[in-house]
Amino acid sequence: MGAFIAFQDVTKKFGAVTVVDHLDLEIAKGEFLSLLGPSGSGKTTILMMLAGFERPSSGSILLADRPITHLPPHRRQMGVVFQNYALFPHMTVAENVAFPLEMQRVPRAEITRRVERALDMVRLSPLKDRKPSQLSGGQQQRVALTRALVFEPDVILMDEPLGALDKQLREHMQLEIRDLHRRLGLTIVFVTHDQSEALTMSDRIAVFNAGKVEQIDTPQAVYDRPRTRFVAEFIGETNLVEGKVVEAGAQQAVVRVGEAALNVSGEVSAGRDVSLSLRPERIRLGKEPAAANALPVTVADCIYHGDHMRLVLKSGPLELVARAERLAGDWAVGTEAVASFDPQDCTVLAS
Amino acid sequence: MSRASVRDRSRAFALVAPLILFLALFFVWPLWTMVTASVVDDAVTKVLPRTAAAMADWDGSDLPPPAVHGALAEDLRTVQDQQALGEAVRRLNSAVSGFRTLLTRTVTAAREASDPATLDLSTIDPRWSEPRFWRAIKEAVPPYTDRNLLAALDLRRDAGGSIVAEEPGAAANRIIMLRTFVIAGSVTLACAAIGLPYAMLAAAASGVMRALLLLAVLLPLWTSLLVRTAAWFILLQQEGLINRALAALGLIDAPLPLIFNRLGVIIAMTHVLLPFMVLPIYSVLIAVPRNLMPAAASLGAGPIRAFWRVLLPLAMPGLMSGCLLVFMVAIGYYITPALVGGANDQMISSVIAFYALGTANWGMAGALGLILLAVTLLLYLVYGRLSRSPQLPGA
Amino acid sequence: MLRALQIVFGSLVVAFLILPIIAILPLAFTSSVFLTYPIPSYSLRWFEELVTADVWRLSIINSLIVGGGATLLSTVLGTLAALGLRGNALPLAGLLRTLFLLPMVVPAVVLGVGMQIFLVRLGLASTYPGVIIAHAVLCVPFVVVSVSAALQGIDPAVEKAAMSLGAPPITVFRRVTLPLAVPGVVSGAVFAFATSLDEVVITLFVAGPNQRTLARQMFSSIRENISPTVAAAALLLIVGTLCLAALAALLRRREKPAVA
């Protein structure tokens, strides 16, 4: 089956600056894909090219195997939700939602019916005669979403749609959007710089850095098996450990770090200097010397975080951060201990 | 980032083009017309082209050779455009009086003559044997002149063609320019003296108080300039409110002369221009964080030092734009001095209006206008550099 | 001490700014032929004069004709130009903007002289079209500034949203851009009309006796033989300007309701 949306070798330059660099990206029908990256990584430009507001400098974009690279935005059938909602300030809620249907020359009576049904669905019917400026942020967000959905577009594009909401409302809206996606089988491309948002909502996440894709994977794979140093550091917190590969096998290797030889996962060749990523919560701390993958450490600092403790561990020149549950015992500063982990939790990063 | 497509650009141009065309035709061109009016002096050349050519070799010392007589007769005989002839006559008559009758008589004779090329003009009118009439024609023949521009600066060319100062008795323009700058400068100072503390007061106030202080500035700005000038006319007159109030308070015995003098002009213009001083300063001060003065105080600066070292430097850009703006607008003022000023308070605009409306002397009006225009544009240029947006407040 | 000084100074300046304007108003109702206080008794005779005396009545009509024409002309041209200047599609946009603002800067007398010579040559001196054109030149900057400000206030994302919802460019302009720019166009037009209403100097140069406007008539009345009719005319102008300003404010309010 061919991809529903495909970017083929797309490059976008603004003057001398390359914002998107030879991008190949495929999105399946019904998929929720997040474009995640720091500001300036090109993710919004990609969305704007997909919506038709920007033209690629080279390469092509396909929708259902049809090239749409040069199709103007109003003929693309994509519902866009903008960062600040971009509601029409001079129209009421109902008029905003009716707008795309009017553009499709849907008969009057049907427009009224569909607008009412759509507003009912997001519980905004009582507010339908208000102007956007009379709504709260969350209500505006729901109107924007409804307006983008009401004309049943092929794809919904969202450009940091939750960025302006406070934390609680944001988390609520995340669930609401995820729910809509599942219920209606929508194809959603979602731009965000908030990693937890991307992890919560997406089927797949594409992590961008400086105009290039660093990794496209499921949220779990992106978190547990980051391919690059950038991904490991950008998503979640991690310990970066430098070492030398002494033994290489299929999908696993032995890496020498200081005195210890550690079993890790990843495809590398022997003799290379590599970086390893080890998430703090995957480190097990014990008093007894473990059989394998263990480093002798000293607790250098212990920071109280309410539901857990963060421990700073020293092993020779190496410094590790570990997360300890409250039940896992008391770790006073200066305590000697052993840190261990499973081989699949420590990943070799591509240099 | 300029990434406009050719289509966007041509659409934008199509939208802007009507106004460009309109302003080019009815704004730039009129100004250009005024500038050229001050240097073009082609009324005589247009009517007497042959004479002009024939006179080229004549040194102007004695009487011109007979060929010039013939050329002049031929020119006058063939002249069709009576209006152009009239302008030429007026131009020559203003140089040497007597030209009006002389030329009228000569035109008639030239038309009746059988062979104008050999006509001896002194037989028609004895004045043609006086060199000064011929010299006047020779001086009026070049199509461009710096006469008006020089006169605007109280300069002229002497008989030898070198630039000399006008005799003190006839020199009025420099005095008027100086007076214009003095009045505009006084008004600017008065506006700064009142406007700076007032803007600071408004910026420091809050809520209703600030709204009230600002409204007091904006209300005059929205009120017709003419209404405001009329109001001052009524207030300042002999039997006006101010004199009556002062008399009622027992402060004066006889009414003070407030109108038709310099004081009245400066009071009325200060009132009119004060908003242009307050608003730029206010807009600069309003951007200053409110806790800056307390911060300065906490660092050990007393109120006066804090004002001098913190608030005043911050208000400086606003004060500078305000002063430039007030001065720039003030030097071009016409209505207020015309209505509440006396004969000795008329500024350069009044003189321009006098030349243009009173005597139809476009050359002088244009030359003085050019000077005023140049000074104003220069000030505007500095103003534009100083303030981020070239837009005037109140617009 | 400082506080008292501030209050005294503030009140004095406010009085200086406001009182002259207020002082002229009651004189419009005087029964005397002199513009002086105290007012002997009140009457409407000067308003009667305003609407019955030919010079005054004609000047009011002329002001409406010239003001209306100049407002229409400058609003159309200025709005189009402001739309064209939007979005930095033009090279030299900054220079053009400056050109559009210049009529506000050039001294009125200078422009008046040029305008007079020029309109005489075109045969438009002392005609309604000539006066209307001259006034429109002065009104243009106010329209350009006001409409530009309104356009600048439009979030480009709103127009993009309209496009993504299926609106072709013309529809985006008609349904989104234009309605959002309307308050700016209206206040530009109000400024333009007020400017024309108050204009004396250019009128002095380009208008003949038949195009004498109210402001021009007031000017010569103050200069030659001032009578309380001037105060009545002033009242008329103030009330007219206030009405226009209120109208503009009202329109703006209706377009942009306050946040609930």
| 3-state SS string for chain A | CCCCEEEEEEEEEECCEEEEEEEEEEECCCCEEEEECCCCCCHHHHHHHHHCCCCCCEEEEEECCEECCCCCHHHCCEEEECCCCCCCCCCCHHHHHHHHHHHCCCCHHHHHHHHHHHHHHCCCHHHCCCCHHHCCHHHHHHHHHHHHHCCCCCEEEEECCCCCCCHHHHHHHHHHHHHHHHHHCCCEEEEECCHHHHHHHCCEEEEEECCEEEEEECHHHHHHCCCEHHHHHHCCCCEEEEEEEEEECCCEEEEEECCEEEEEECCCCCCCEEEEEECHHHCEEECCCCCCCEEEEEEEEEEECCCEEEEEEEECCEEEEEEEEHHHCCCCCCCEEEEECCHHHEEEEEC
Q: CB–CB of B334/B353 below 8 Å?
A: yes
Q: How confident is the model at residue B1 (pLDDT cuts 50, 70, 90)?
A: very low
- The nearest alpha carbon in chain A to B1 belongs to A14
Identify whether residues B188 and B54 lie together within a single domain: no
The yes-or-no verdict on residue B3 having pLDDT over 50 is no
Task: Return the CATH class of domain C43-152+184-254.
Answer: mainly alpha
The yes-or-no verdict on residue C35 having pLDDT over 90 is no
In a domain, B316, yes or no: yes
B388 lies within 8 A of chain A by CB: no
Which SS3 state, helix, strand or coil, does residue A159 take? Answer: strand
Identify whether residues B232 and B361 lie together within a single domain: yes
* Yes or no, beta carbons of A53 and C160 under 8 Å apart: yes
> How many other CB atoms are found less than 10 A from the CB of residue A202?
23
* Yes or no, beta carbons of C201 and B356 under 8 Å apart: no
- Average pLDDT of the segment spanning B316-341: 92
B3 lies within 8 A of chain A by CB: yes
- CATH code: domain A237-349 is 2.40.50.100
- Average pLDDT of the segment spanning C55-84: 95
pLDDT score recorded for residue A291:
60
* Yes or no, beta carbons of B33 and C121 under 8 Å apart: yes
pLDDT score recorded for residue B394:
45
The two structure tokens encoding residue A10: 């797309």
pLDDT score recorded for residue B390:
46
Bigger pLDDT: B117 or B4?
A: B117
Q: CB–CB of A97/A147 below 8 Å?
A: yes
- How far off is chain C from A91, nearest CA to CA, in Å? 9
Answer with the one of B123, B143, B163 that is the final residue of a domain.
Answer: B143
pLDDT score recorded for residue C251:
73
Identify whether residues B194 and B301 lie together within a single domain: yes
- Average pLDDT of the segment spanning B210-223: 89
pLDDT score recorded for residue B392:
52
The yes-or-no verdict on residue B235 having pLDDT over 60 is yes
pLDDT score recorded for residue A328:
63
Percent of chain B residues past pLDDT 70, beyond the cut:
96
The yes-or-no verdict on residue C252 having pLDDT over 80 is no
B307 lies within 8 A of chain C by CB: no
pLDDT score recorded for residue C260:
31
Q: Do the bridges between strand A155-159 and strand A188-192 make them parallel or antiparallel, or are there none, so unpaired?
A: parallel
Identify whether residues B252 and B131 lie together within a single domain: no
Percent of chain C residues past pLDDT 90, beyond the cut:
58
pLDDT score recorded for residue B219:
86
pLDDT score recorded for residue B388:
58
Residues in chain A with pLDDT values less than 70: 1-2, 290-291, 326-329, 351
Would you list the domain boundaries of chain C?
43-152+184-254
Identify whether residues B186 and B319 lie together within a single domain: yes
Residue A86 amino acid letter: A
pLDDT score recorded for residue B254:
84
Q: What is the pTM of this model?
A: 0.83
pLDDT score recorded for residue C255:
55
In a domain, B1, yes or no: no
Q: How confident is the model at residue B106 (pLDDT cuts 50, 70, 90)?
A: confident
* Yes or no, beta carbons of C109 and B372 under 8 Å apart: yes
Left, alpha or beta for A208 (phi > 0: left; psi -120 to 50: alpha)? Answer: beta
- Average pLDDT of the segment spanning B57-84: 83
**How many domains does chain B divide into?**
2
Q: Please give the Cα distance from B307 to B303 (Å, whole number).
A: 6
**For chain A, which residues lie within 8 Å of any Cβ of chain B, measuring from their own Cβ?**
14-15
Identify whether residues B224 and B341 lie together within a single domain: yes
Identify whether residues B137 and B258 lie together within a single domain: no
In a domain, B6, yes or no: no
In a domain, B24, yes or no: no
* Yes or no, beta carbons of B349 and C84 under 8 Å apart: no
Would you list the domain boundaries of chain A?
5-226, 237-349
Identify whether residues B302 and B241 lie together within a single domain: yes
Please state whether the peptide bond connecting residue C38 to the residue before it is cis, i.e. omega within 30 degrees of 0: yes
Average pLDDT, chain C: 89
* Substitution target from A14, A54, A55, A80 for chain C, most C beta carbons within 10 A: A80
Q: How confident is the model at residue B2 (pLDDT cuts 50, 70, 90)?
A: very low
Identify whether residues B368 and B271 lie together within a single domain: yes
Could you tell me the CA-to-CA distances from B243 to B253, B257, C225 in Å, in that order? 10, 9, 21
- Domain that includes residue B345, residue range: 173-386
Residue B146 carries which DSSP code?
A: S
Q: CB–CB of B148/B364 below 8 Å?
A: yes
pLDDT score recorded for residue B105:
86
Identify whether residues B186 and B99 lie together within a single domain: no
Fold (topology level) of A5-226: Rossmann fold (3.40.50)
- Average pLDDT of the segment spanning B6-23: 91
Average pLDDT, chain B: 86
Identify whether residues B202 and B286 lie together within a single domain: yes
